[in-house]
Every structure is written in C-alpha cells, then in structure tokens.
Amino acid sequence: MKRRIKLNNGIINADADPIRRLIDVLRYDLQVTGTKDGCGEGACGACSIILNGECVNSCIILFGQIEDGDEILTVEGLLKDGKLSRLQESFVKNGAVHCGACIPGMLLSATALLNKNLKPTDEEIKDSISGNLCRCTGYGKIIKAIRECI
C-alpha cells in the first residue's frame, strides 16, 4: 500500500503492507528510530507520535489506517533549523531526562498539550502525560520542565 504523507518537515512516499504497525514502518522501513517500542500494546506511551494534531500510540495503529495527506510528527521533527524546541531545552535543563527511552513519547504528549492548551494546570499536565510511563524519574522534573514552557 502506497501513501504520500507529511513526515516531520518533509513530504515522503511510504510503501508498506497495510497490516504492518505504523511504528515498524517508521522505525524499520523509514529508519526514523526516535520513536520507541516499550510494550507493543499501547500501555506505555514510548511510541507516542502526533498524527494530524492528535497524540497517538503508533504501536496500535496499522499502516492501513494512514491516508494520503496525513501529517505525522515524531521526535525528530521537533528540532527546527537545528535548534531545540522550548520543551526539548527545558527537559535537558531541568533534569527531566534520565535513560531517555520514554522521552520522545513524553515530549510529543507535552507538545500536543501545549499546542491545544496555552495555560495548562498541573493536573492537566499530569493528565496529558499519564499515558507515558517513565521508570527513572519521579515525574516531578518532567512536570516542572513542561510547566516552565507555559
């Protein structure tokens, strides 16, 4: 199945079996490996991406669900002209990053939140990342990093 999609900052043609998971198409076919596979069943959020403005788990979406013209944002697309986004910078500065495995998904959940809600409360921040498991931090530094970008 062929699809013409917007992936991060470019338009690409992707060709894959429709029953292939979107995460596998991204990671193995397109070599965009920033997106992580933590559980394979939509429980950990390591594979979070932004699809047409919504944060979704790419491990439970099949390539067949993708349509021409869809827009996908992965962690690689957060870098603009070689510069870190405010969230990326804040994560590093605040010690929100430890092992890093949850970070791509965490950043995309936070990006989706701030795209929609300019002034989220702490509860809204927690809600937005509650589907992203982190085993290293106590979440406090991640919440602080997001709060500082409001």
Partner 1 sequence: MKSVGKNIPRLDGYDKVTGKVKYVDDIDIPDCWRGEVVRSDIPYGRIKKINFDKAFDWDKVMTCTYKDIPGKNATIFLSDDQPILAENLVKHVGEAIVLIAAPSASKALEAKKHITIEYDTLDSVLSIEDSRKRKNVIFGKDNIQAKYKIEKGDVKKGFAEADFIVEGEYRTGFHEHAYIETQGMAAIPRPDGGLTVTGSLQCPYYVLKTLKSALLLDETKINVVQAPMGGAFGGKEDYPSLLGMYVALLSIKSGKPVKIIYSRDEDIVVTTKRHPSIVTHKTGVKKDGTITAMEIDVAFEGGAYSTLSPVVLSRGVIHSAGAYKCENTFCTANCYATNNVPTGAFRGFGAPQVFYALEMHIDKVAERIGMSPHEFRLKNCVEVGDRLSTTQLLKESVGAKECLEKVLSAADFGKKWRNNLDTCAFKHLRTKKGIGLSLYMHGGAFTGSGEGMKSEAGLRLNKDGTISVLTGCTDMGQGSHTVLPQIAAESLGVPAALVNTAVPDTAVVPDSGPTVASRTTMIIGSILVRCAEKMKKKLPDLKKRDVKELLKTYYSEHGELKIIERYILPPEIKWDQEKHCGDAYPVYSWAADVAEVSVDAETFEVSVDKLTVAVDVGRAVNPVLVEGQMEGGTLQALGWALMEDCIYKNGKPVNNRFQTYIIPTAKDAPEWKTIIVEKPFSYGPFGAKGIGELPLDGGAPAIANAIYNATGLRITSLPITPEKLYSLYEEKNKIK
To the nearest whole angstrom, how small is the minimum distance from the Cβ of residue 68 to partner 1? 25
- Name the residue among 77, 107, 79 with its Cα closest to residue 91: 107
Task: Decide if residue 9 touches partner 1 (CB under 8 A).
Answer: no
State which of positions 71-110 bind partner 1 (CB under 8 A). 74-76, 78-79, 84, 88, 91-95, 97-104, 107
Does 150 bind partner 1 (CB under 8 A)? Our answer is no
Contact 28, 37 (CB under 8 A): no
Among residues 4 and 80, whose Cβ is nearest to partner 1?
Answer: 80
Asked if 18 is part of the footprint of partner 1 (rule: CB under 8 A), the reply reads no
Nearest distance in Å: CB 58, partner 1: 13
Task: Print burial letters for 15-49: b (CB count within 10 Å at least 16), e (below 16).
Answer: ebeeeebbbbbbbeebebebbbebeeeeebbbbbb
Give the residue, chosen from 62, 126, 147, 149, that forms a contact with partner 1 under the rule CB under 8 A. Answer: 126
Q: What's the length of the chain? A: 150
Residue placing its CB nearer to partner 1 in the complex, 59 or 66: 59
Contact in structure between 62 and 20 (CB atoms under 8 Å): yes
Tell me if residue 3 falls in helix, strand or coil. Answer: strand
Shortest Cβ distance from residue 11 to partner 1 (Å)? 20
CA distance 145 to 11: 31
Work out whether 149 is an interface residue with partner 1 (CB under 8 A): no
Report d(CA 111, CA 57) in Å as an integer.
Answer: 15
Which parts of this chain interact with partner 1 (CB under 8 A)?
A: 27, 31-41, 43-44, 46, 74-76, 78-79, 84, 88, 91-95, 97-104, 107, 125-127, 129-143
